[in-house]
Structure 1
């Protein structure tokens, strides 16, 4: 088991990966640096190896697939994940590692939005998307995460080995954040100085397509982690629709004692029944979610014992 593992997912980052690896080695001399090459068509793998990294390959395309492979294969007391585009300062990594090793943090977020992101980033829709995602998650899950989409984070062993990765692409950061928040893991923020990509380096993030995937991920995870809240919203919407169409029928009945729009009345009844069913579905799924939380806490206890055993063997 490594003490510190620096994880760098990469796709066509030949121009910047060498500097990122060298900066990581300089900032964390006792760390092992891993670069996972995701079908790059340039010299990313060769440059990373020359700079001193251990290079491995993930052949399924997508950042989520790369992170799944990294988390599965590598054991460490603390993990530092950083993008290979040289937009994050590795000088902040030591502080992030210290929060995990000595202050019980499960996830440390490299917060770009509180410093230079809005000045350095040249893509205005990315700014809007970051604010939208951050506001949505903080409101839906009752938390205060300052930067949801950052690619610079540190993790504990317990976080990495309990994180069920379902996303394939850039929505993985959103999934990480919600997993930590929902499972009551300790999250810390470290303000970092973001710098935009150097000239000649191209972003792989599609503002609209990937942004839509992120919003779908938020909705999916909210349904899974907060089923009572999700289905309560569905029930409320259905109930309001039913009531809106029922009110004219009721008014006409009071005035004439006749119900001329019987098909509409029947539809209103079915929609209201669907609202009631949604409410009960939320209650049932919420009970199951609580049981899943209990199982998760037991899994954490087992992982803690496993980590202590592995650490003891290495000391011997």
Structure 2
């Protein structure tokens, strides 16, 4: 069961735009699943990708565009194509490189990122779209408020520490900086230059937040992953912490 969204920024009377500009509610379009792109980087996830894509099809009635940037050596891309996904082949270069290409390749006005390991609840896509239609520019899935026990203890501790660090740097309460499930208005994605690799998930939250976009955190039911994780906890954690520091400081100095 999903929870109530929280705002990482104080909700303004009109939808926030970059660097403090606003757009009136009357100018805000109302989006449906036909306006949705669901994007992901995929790498050897044949055990989970069928379930993820089937869930997306079921929830959206097959109306959403699906984009997979894939570096797999298994059957992942073939399974994705069987589901009608647009598969962009890319040599393995890391999480951020794949996801950045995926978000920039999306054709539709609302872009949702997710992972292909069946940890994120595609059944909550309607809630994310509702929040965008309600005026949010970014809707960020919060895994830690509702179902943190599905996450390994070391990962859970690291993610809580990342949230504390990010909150201190931006001066606002952030609950989950590294979630892979978020929704964005297309103009947010196109207005920012994305630079991080392992730390892209944190960057995708922090840059819009610091620039004054309306960011909401939506509690989600996180699940135990199918298949093995590709991220080395210590090395990956250090890279994410570095990205949080670097992105926050650069944004505040621009």
- TM-score class normalised by the smaller sequence: 0.7 to 0.9
Question: Which string of whole-angstrom CA distances, capped at 9 and with x for unpartnered residues, describes residues 63-83 of structure 1?
Answer: 111122123222311011110
The alignment of Structure 1 onto Structure 2 pairs a total of residues equal to 220
2:15 maps to which residue? none
* Alignment equivalent of 2:179, drawn from 145, 150, 161: 150
Report the equivalent of 2:205.
177
Asked if residue 64 in structure 1 is aligned to residue 96 in structure 2, the reply is yes
Give 3-state SS (helix, strand or coil) of 1:52's partner: coil
User: For residue 66 of structure 2, what is the aligned residue in structure 1?
Assistant: 33
Q: Does the Cα contact within 8 Å between 2:39 and 2:102 map onto a contact in 1?
A: yes
Instruction: Give me the whole-angstrom Cα distance separating, in 2, the residues matched to 1:218 and 1:69.
Output: 21
The corresponding residue for 2:17 is none
The superposition leaves residues 261-302 of structure 1 with CA deviations (integer Å, 9 ceiling, x where unpaired) of xxxxxxxxxxxxxxxxxxxxxxxxxxxx2xxxxxxxxxxxxx
- Distance in 1, matches of 2:40 and 2:219, equals 20
Partners in 1 of 2:87 and 2:200 — Cα distance? Answer: 22
**SS state of the match for residue 155, structure 2?**
helix
Name the residue aligned to 1:226: 252
Cα distance, 1:222 vs structure 2: 2.9
| Cα deviation, residue 175, structure 1 | 0.8
The TM-score normalised by the length of structure 2 is 0.82
Q: Which runs of 5+ in 2 are unaligned?
A: 1-33
The corresponding residue for 2:136 is 105
1:90-148 deviations in Å (ceiling 9; x for gaps): 11011101211x2121110111101112x212x22111110111001111101222211
The alpha carbon displacement at 1:155 in A equals 0.7
Could you list the runs of 5+ residues in structure 1 that have no partner in the other structure? 228-288, 290-316
Q: 2:106 aligns with which of 70, 74, 83?
A: 74
User: Could you tell me how far 1:223 is from its partner in structure 2?
Assistant: 2.6
Counterpart selection for 1:212 from 213, 224, 238: 238
How far apart in 1 are the matches of 2:186 and 2:222? 26
Task: Measure, in 2, the Cα distance between the counterparts of 1:218 and 1:191.
Answer: 21
1:160 equivalent among 148, 165, 189: 189
Question: 2:159 aligned to 130, 135, 141, which one?
Answer: 130
Distance 2:142 2:105 in 1: 27
Would the aligned equivalents of 2:164 and 2:174 in 1 still touch at CA under 8 Å?
no
> Is the CA contact 2:166–2:244 (under 8 Å) kept in the aligned structure 1?
yes
Give the corresponding residue for 2:214.
186
Matched, 1:202 2:228: yes
| Structure (1 or 2) with the greater helix fraction | 1
Q: Does structure 1 residue 93 correspond to structure 2 residue 125?
A: yes
SS in 2 for 1:33: strand
Corresponding residue of 2:16 = none
Q: What per-residue deviation string (whole Å, max 9, x for no partner) do you get for residues 181-200 of structure 1?
A: 111111112111111113xx
What per-residue deviation string (whole Å, max 9, x for no partner) do you get for residues 221-273 of structure 1?
2331234xxxxxxxxxxxxxxxxxxxxxxxxxxxxxxxxxxxxxxxxxxxxxx
- Kept in 2, the 8 Å contact 1:87–1:197? The answer is yes
The alpha-carbon deviation at position 60 of structure 1 amounts to: 5.0
Alignment partners' CA distance in 2, 1:20 and 1:222 = 32
Relative CO higher for 1 or 2, CA cutoff 8 Å, sep ≥ 6?
2
Please report the TM-score for the alignment, with normalisation by the length of structure 1.
0.67
SS in 1 for 2:44: coil
